[in-house]
């Protein structure tokens, strides 16, 4: 029988013939060193590990420090039981040496459950008790732990007291768990960097982590089923994404760098978290960093933000005072189109509602160890986070759109208008909360919802129609006495351009409308205007057959083509969208297939035309 003694030079057993010097380990932790880190280091390699690997039975003094009530011997026993790398040696019989009774230890130690598990024994510090243990061992009564799963079920470990908050534990736990979902890529430098950062986390050396990991390891794990290739964030190709997280340097920065890089995106990490900064100074530093990221040529239109970025955030009762929310609010006021993803270890519903009130629509909850999530659930967390990043990415165009609109509002052609009609139009479209702001705000609210997209379409055509009705843009009138209709526009150089003249069913015109059926119309749908044919000079056509009249469609085509030089392809797109507006948005005529929907891309197409039309050259 190979017996090992672990003590603090505070037992008579070490000076007798009971143990040779080579079978002893002196526990000598520095008072400034964390006990879990000290134990973990000694169990990884060195003399203590070698002794345990050779042992058949362990004798551990309960008190392993100058403060006998710390009971570091019990904590060491927990570590031995929960250290996976010790394999079967983690189950060795452990004999505690103490003058206290089992009941006294149970009442005075905050985590005493190990004392009441199999494979644990307690003796007084005397030769009689020691010999009794040896005799019982020879007789087969002293046995090692035979069912580690029962042991796990019968113990409970509290989070480490030296961690400032539950948030720090959840941050590191979630990082470890999420990273475990990726397949090994030893040749990938970024993969190795994350793994190394995780190995150096203090939390992975704590008893709480080993306990939480042991709970998880009881679950059956199909590696092929639960490990994923990291390239599964869609729609982020070419995107530049900002990360604002006080835990970024502990591994979250490397995690997102690896994941996003494999998905074709770039991560930029805020590095302004200096311990000597107070909240106000930190906010200034982060805001300056954000200003730089959104002002550069390759602007960040997506930010991932941790909800709580400072120590005092965990005692803050007012949600709006959380550092992460103050940062999010700052960004949204700068540019409401920038997409934000909030990371939080909290699942409180009021957090999410408050975020929605700020215009934040993407959230991801960091997994916490106390919930004992299965690996399948961890995979769901990772998939959800990838979907939230993807969702934010598909709406990140709104940031660029906001910049376009803001520039247009300051530099549109009606900025210094002299006529009343032009000033009225300018106010209607470009003033704060004008039509163009309304369109943008609707898209920010929900750029995926049909009813919102349809309302945006109505507002877009309202802008075009109001524009074409301004007298200084063109005139499309009729003279009933002479039965003559005509249309002309004023070019941007001030010259007049005649588009058409119609009389007695015949028309001299620069373009004609072509009838047909759109692909999105129902089968056997009625013929309608589907495109325009343009001539190099006026041609004589049948106005009845061509369907050319002074409707808003003709006005729009005339102005867009001959005043604003909009392409034929874009004009055909406007014709199709106008039909959709009339037959779906304004009146549900049944002419359009139920499966066909326009989307934000179509709205942006019109908005881009509007920018080209109204922006000063």
Question: What pLDDT, in 10s, does the model give residues 446-462?
Answer: 999 999 999 999 999 99
The count of other CB atoms within 10 Å of the CB of residue 163 is: 16
Give a yes or no: residue 140 inside a domain. yes
| Beta-strand relationship, 94-97 and 120-123 | parallel
User: Under 8 Å CB-to-CB from 138, ≥6 apart: which residues?
Assistant: 1
Domain total for the chain?
3
What's the token pair of residue 304?
């991932």
Give a yes or no: residue 401 inside a domain. no
Per-residue confidence (pLDDT) for residue 477, from 0 to 100: 79
How far is C-alpha 359 from the chain's CA centre? 15
Dist CA 366 CA 385 (whole Å): 9
pLDDT bucket at 319, cuts 50 / 70 / 90: confident
Last residue of a domain, one of 154, 182, 201: 154
Q: What is the pLDDT of residues 226-265, one digit of tens each?
A: 455 555 799 999 999 999 999 899 999 999 999 999 999 9
Do 431 and 368 lie in one domain? The reply is no
Per-residue confidence (pLDDT) for residue 227, from 0 to 100: 53
Q: What is the pLDDT of residues 399-445, one digit of tens each?
A: 999 999 999 999 999 998 889 999 999 999 999 999 999 999 999 99
Average pLDDT over residues 573-594: 94
Dist CA 295 CA 289 (whole Å): 10
Nearest to 394 by CA among 339, 319, 434: 339
| Beta-strand relationship, 94-97 and 57-61 | parallel
Do 114 and 56 lie in one domain? The reply is yes
Do 361 and 491 lie in one domain? The reply is no
When mean pLDDT is compared across 269-273, 285-289, 501-505, 521-525, the lowest value belongs to: 501-505
Is the pLDDT higher at 556 or at 349?
Answer: 556
Per-residue confidence (pLDDT) for residue 369, from 0 to 100: 84
Give a yes or no: residue 195 inside a domain. yes
pLDDT bucket at 13, cuts 50 / 70 / 90: very high
Three-state DSSP string of 236-262: CCCCEEEEECCCHHHCHHHHHHHHHHH
Nearest to 255 by CA among 325, 216, 197: 197
Say if CB 265 and CB 274 are below 8 A apart: no
Do 19 and 113 lie in one domain? The reply is yes
Do 173 and 249 lie in one domain? The reply is yes
Is the pLDDT higher at 491 or at 345?
Answer: 491
Do 138 and 241 lie in one domain? The reply is no
Per-residue confidence (pLDDT) for residue 496, from 0 to 100: 96
Do 503 and 581 lie in one domain? The reply is yes
Last residue of a domain, one of 371, 395, 419: 395
Rg (alpha carbons) of the chain, rounded to whole number: 37
Residue 303's CATH number: 3.40.50.2300
Do 415 and 331 lie in one domain? The reply is no
3-state DSSP assignment of residue 279: helix
Last residue of a domain, one of 395, 423, 449: 395
Give a yes or no: residue 177 inside a domain. yes
- Residue-number span of the structural domain to which 431 is assigned: 407-617
What's the token pair of residue 176?
């470890």
Is residue 102's pLDDT more than 50? yes
Dist CA 555 CA 513 (whole Å): 12
User: Under 8 Å CB-to-CB from 332, ≥6 apart: which residues?
Assistant: 338, 340, 358, 359, 360
Give a yes or no: residue 400 inside a domain. no
Do 275 and 216 lie in one domain? The reply is yes
Per-residue confidence (pLDDT) for residue 542, from 0 to 100: 79
List C-alpha distances in Å: 28 to 12, 63, 69, 523: 17, 12, 16, 86
Do 418 and 479 lie in one domain? The reply is yes
Say if CB 195 and CB 254 are below 8 A apart: no
Do 237 and 105 lie in one domain? The reply is no
pTM (2 decimals)? 0.86
Give a yes or no: residue 530 inside a domain. yes
Do 465 and 604 lie in one domain? The reply is yes
Backbone angles phi, psi at 591, to 5 degrees: -80, -15
């Amino acid at each position: 029988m190979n017996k090992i003694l672990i003590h603090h030079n505070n037992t008579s057993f070490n000076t007798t013939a009971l143990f040779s010097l080579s079978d002893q380990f002196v526990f000598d932790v520095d008072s400034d060193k964390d006990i879990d880190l000290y134990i973990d280091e000694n169990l990884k390699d060195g003399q203590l590990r070698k002794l345990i690997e050779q042992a058949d039975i362990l004798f551990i003094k309960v008190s392993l420090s100058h403060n006998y009530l710390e009971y570091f011997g019990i904590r060491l026993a927990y570590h031995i039981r929960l250290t996976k790398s010790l394999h079967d040696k983690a189950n060795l019989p452990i004999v505690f040496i103490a003058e206290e009774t089992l009941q006294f230890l149970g009442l005075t130690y905050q985590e005493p459950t190990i004392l009441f598990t199999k494979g644990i024994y307690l003796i007084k510090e005397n030769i009689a008790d020691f010999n009794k243990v040896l005799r019982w061992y020879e007789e087969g009564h002293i046995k090692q732990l035979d069912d580690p799963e029962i042991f796990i079920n019968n113990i409970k470990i509290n989070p480490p007291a030296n961690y400032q908050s539950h948030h720090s534990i959840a941050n590191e736990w979630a990082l470890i768990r999420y990273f475990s979902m990726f397949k090994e890529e030893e040749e990938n430098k970024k993969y190795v960097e994350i793994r190394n950062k995780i190995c150096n986390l203090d939390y992975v050396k704590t008893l709480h982590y080993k306990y939480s990991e042991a709970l998880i390891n009881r679950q059956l794990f199909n590696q092929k089923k639960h490990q994923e290739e990291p390239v599964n964030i869609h729609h982020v190709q070419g995107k530049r994404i900002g990360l604002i997280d006080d835990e970024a340097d502990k591994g979250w920065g490397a995690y997102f760098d690896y994941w996003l890089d494999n998905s074709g995106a770039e991560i930029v990490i805020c590095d302004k978290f200096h311990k000597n900064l107070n909240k106000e100074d930190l906010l200034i530093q982060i805001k300056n960093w954000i200003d730089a990221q959104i002002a550069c040529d390759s602007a960040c239109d997506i930010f991932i933000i941790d909800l709580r970025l400072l120590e005092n955030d965990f005692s803050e009762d007012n949600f709006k005072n959380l550092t992460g929310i103050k940062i999010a609010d700052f960004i949204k006021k700068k540019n409401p189109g920038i997409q934000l993803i909030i990371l939080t270890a909290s699942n409180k519903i009021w957090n999410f509602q408050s975020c929605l009130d700020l215009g934040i629509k993407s959230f991801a909850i960091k997994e916490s160890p106390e919930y004992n999530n299965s690996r399948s659930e961890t995979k769901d967390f990772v998939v959800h986070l990838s979907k939230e990043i993807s969702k934010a990415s598909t709406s990140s165009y709104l940031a660029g759109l906001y910049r376009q609109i803001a520039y247009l509002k300051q530099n549109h052609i009606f900025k210094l208008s002299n006529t009343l009609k032009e000033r009225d139009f300018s106010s209607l479209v470009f003033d704060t909360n004008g039509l163009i702001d309304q369109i943008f705000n609707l898209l920010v609210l929900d750029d995926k919802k049909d009813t919102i997209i349809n309302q945006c379409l109505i507002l877009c055509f309202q802008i075009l129609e109001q524009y074409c009705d301004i007298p200084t843009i063109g005139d499309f009138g009729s003279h009933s006495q002479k039965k003559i209709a005509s249309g002309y526009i004023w070019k941007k150089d001030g010259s007049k351009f005649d588009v058409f003249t119609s009389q007695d069913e015949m028309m001299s015109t620069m373009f004609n409308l072509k009838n047909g059926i759109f692909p999105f119309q129902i089968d056997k749908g009625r013929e309608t205007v589907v495109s325009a044919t343009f001539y190099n000079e006026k041609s004589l056509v049948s106005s009845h057959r061509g369907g050319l009249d002074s409707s808003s469609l003709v006005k729009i085509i005339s102005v867009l083509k001959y005043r604003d030089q909009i392409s034929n392809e874009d004009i055909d797109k406007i014709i199709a969208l106008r039909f959709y507006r009339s037959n779906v948005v304004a009146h549900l005529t049944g002419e359009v297939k139920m499966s066909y929907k326009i989307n934000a891309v179509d709205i942006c197409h019109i908005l881009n035309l509007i920018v080209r039309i109204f922006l000063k050259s």
